[in-house]
Amino acid sequence: MKAVRYFGHKDVRVVNDLEKPVPKGDEVLLKIGGAGVCHSDLHIIDEGTIGNLVFTLGHENAGWIEAVGDTVKDYKKGDAVLVYGPWGCGHCKPCQQSKENYCDHQSELGYGGGLGLNGGMAEYMLVPSSRLLVPIFDLDPVIAAPLTDAALTPYSAIKRSLPKLMPDEYVVVIGVGGLGHVAIQILRETSGAAIIACDVTDEKLAFAKELGAAHTVNSKDPDAAEQILKITGLKKAKVILDFVGATPTIELGTKVVGMDGDLTIVGLGGGYYQYSMNGLPFGVTMTNPYWGSRTELMEVVGLARQKKIHIEIEKFDLEQANEVYDRMRHGQIKGRAVLVP
């Protein structure tokens, strides 16, 4: 079996000598249709955030069921499914609420397939429990694979703030990349707030306009905050969604968020914020959400099946994995890259 394997810091290789897994119990073997490539992979590869574990990369996975263990119910060979990314214990209170992304035992477990445990950048993937599957019905697995993160993560972040996203408010999306371009579509379909999109290239800002942003601002401009405040007026923006998470973007968010607003930092850019009493307007909530729940992934599938959102993808062969990571490092992927076995 062919797979894209992580062997430690900055060491990723495509191998062709793995045995095809055989499922038992509640395990499910998936024939992979597509595996999304995420910036989180670069944190693992370039920064060694998971250490020296050896595993198959890929945490955005979709395909068709190839075989099931002897206790699996309600799934059969050929069913098209997504793999829910965060793998919790399945038993604690958050897991019972479908929030395995906030499992009480996460520190004792691997984060999920492709994040310390074997993922889906391979011809086949062994999923440890059928509870981690979400049917996609008539969706193409190649196109649907990134829904598991690139759509689920912004959807969950936006859902937290929906009561504040009224038609007389503004929401700022910082970063129109793999997650940000989907966030704009979700906001367009689920909220009434006017969308202000920020990025550092004219191409991505034009893309944001096509997707539904009412206004765009180049966040490299020295007066980017002033440009945003000119749009919002005195009350500023009610919600900031930062899909970069670097210090400059966090600082930009603090300058333009309004009182009782939400400053939501989704990106893993390694930035920091130095708190001070007068640094944020009163009532602002600063959060760093992680992924989303399995039931929210079902809702994301609903949006995709209704054609209310789509993920811009570029397809690549498994053998091109390192080439894709290099392109990501240089900002040369529009939307999401998907590896197709």
pLDDT at 106: 81
Summarize the confidence of residues 248-262 as an average pLDDT.
98
* Range list of β-strands (E), 157-273: 170-174, 194-199, 215-218, 237-242, 257-265
Point out which residues pair with 131 in neighbouring strands: none
Least confident piece of the model among 31-35, 191-195, 209-213, 308-312: 308-312
The structure tokens 């992304």 sit at 101
pLDDT at 173: 98
The DSSP secondary structure of 249-286, one letter per residue, reads HHHHHHHHEEEEEEEEE---S-------TTTS-TT-EE
Single pTM value for the model: 0.95
- Residue 294 per-residue DSSP state: H
What pLDDT digit, counting tens, does each position of 210-225 carry? 999 999 999 999 999 9
Cα–Cα distances (Å) from 327 to 39, 49, 117, in that order, read 11, 21, 25
pLDDT at 279: 87
pLDDT at 122: 98
pLDDT at 83: 98
pLDDT greater than 80 at residue 31: yes
What pLDDT digit, counting tens, does each position of 295-317 carry? 999 999 999 999 999 998 999 99
pLDDT greater than 80 at residue 107: no
